[in-house]
Amino acid sequence: MQYRAAIFDLDGTLVDTLEDLAISVNEMLESYGFPTHPLDEYRYYLGNGSKKLIERTLPKEKAADEAFVIEAMKRYQAIYEHHRDHTGPFPGIQAMLDALKAKGIPMGVCTNKHQQAADEIIGGMFPAGTFTTVMGDCPGLPIKPDPKK
């Protein structure tokens, strides 16, 4: 089979971000005086972007308040910018990417992580030019998978 391109998710596919995401959300929750969650529970909270992560981790009455969710999400994103201590590529990922690149297969990343964080993680963990495109969560574009399709 001849591949023309390879597009990867970021969190949980190329890089292990679980612990830093959990630390960041728990710090956001603590800042409001809310209970935090154990690391293992975050495996069930992830997927569908930052907003869903925040909705799933907030107390129920706060998760139903759209304005509060947006505020909490912004607070979380500001905190997350400073937590990359435990994030890194999964074993074998770089070798796989190198093999694809050697075959001339262009590669991209499509993630629900906000664009700035996606760019910083890709730029800090993979050689320049590994990916031709990095597409993160951007205002006006649907998250993946698009819930309307």
Count CB-CB contacts under 10 A for residue 51: 17
Structure tokens at 12: 């949980």
25 and 11 assigned to the same domain: no
60 and 108 assigned to the same domain: no
Confidence band (pLDDT; 50, 70, 90) for 76?
Answer: very high
CATH number of domain containing 40: 1.10.150
> Catalytic one among 9, 40, 65, 85?
9
Question: Does some domain include residue 142?
Answer: no
Query: Which residue in this structure is represented by tokens 């799933």?
Result: 56
Confidence band (pLDDT; 50, 70, 90) for 149?
Answer: low
Model confidence, pTM: 0.84
Q: Which residue in 106, 102, 103, 112 sits closest to 21, CA to CA?
A: 112
65 is catalytic: no
Residue pLDDT, tens place only, 99-136: 999 999 999 999 988 888 899 999 999 999 999 999 98
Per-residue pLDDT at 49 exceeds 90? no
Question: Does some domain include residue 98?
Answer: yes
| Owning domain of residue 116 | 6-15+87-137
